[in-house]
Amino acid sequence: MPELPEVEITRQSFAQAIQGAKILRVNLGKALRWPLGCEPSALIGMQVLGVRRRAKYLLVDLSGGLLLVHLGMSGSLRFSSAMPAMGLHEHFEMQTTQGTLRLKDPRRFGAVVYARSPLDTAAQKLLGHLGPEPLESDFTVAYFKNTLSGKTAAIKTVLLDARVVVGVGNIYANEALFLAKINPKAAAGKLSAERVQRLLQAIQQVLKRALAVGGSTLKDFSNAQGKEGYFQLEMMVYDREGEPCRVCGSLVRTLRQGQRSTFYCPQCQKR
């Protein structure tokens, strides 16, 4: 699934190019996870004011509202001045005066939802419950420690809860816990202040590095210009079950937590 770095890299790859464009036509393919929320023709004539990101959502601000775009499990966006006809797995297309934005999503867990404003019910349903951004100033050690306090769930599972912190995702939770030398099975509420601080710093370090190298391309991720990321080449534990730890040489292990695979080093992450 595209996580915060991949979504942000996607945003950066087309936000400037589409800003100021006017919508000429909107085409829909097969139904996505949620309906668009308006007739496609209602978007014609609106101007694209900018593109922001909130958690794993791209927010396309329009002169008459906004589009909330989620890439789901396997989605990707393309933006180009020249596009072939929509393919089998392409389900949303927005033609503008500056190019065409198209969503490809083979599994159709993604979505494009229209809202009249950020305070609209449609937008609040998706965004209203979200926690702080991990790279913003409100994600502090004090906040993190207070939020984890009393939680008996494993810290790895808690990191995937968008009400605690948004956008970390499975890949980067694994990598951050390794960097912080914290066992993924440790109870979130029992982490000391020192370990919470170490984990927060590790989350930020891992995400910043992933952004710097274009995100992770494990299967088919690429940005809106078709460029792949390279963070997968630097992964310490994720998807490395049975391989030697890059630090101590112990074999990387895996377990299931909350229906997701967790990868860790039994030696480096004893506690």
Q: Which residues are catalytic?
A: 2-3, 56, 260
Q: How many CA atoms lie within 13 A of 165 on its CB side?
A: 33
Sheet containing 111-115: order of strands: 48-54, 57-62, 65-70, 111-115
Q: Let me know if 219 is exposed, middle or buried by CB neighbors in 10 A (0-12, 13-18, 19+).
A: exposed
The torsion angle over the Cα atoms of residues 202, 207, 218 and 89, rounded to 10 degrees, is: 140
Render 150-191 in DSSP notation, one character per residue. T--SBHHHHHT-TTTSSS-HHHHHHHHHHHHT--TTSBGGG-
Cβ-proximal residues to 80 (8 Å cutoff; 6+ apart), any chain: 99, 100, 225
Give CA–CA dist 213/9, Å, rounded.
9
Give CA–CA dist 124/12, Å, rounded.
24
Rounded to whole angstroms, what are the CA distances from 20 to 61, 75, 113, 122? 10, 25, 20, 24
**Helix, strand, coil percentages for the chain (3-state, nearest 5):** 30, 25, 50
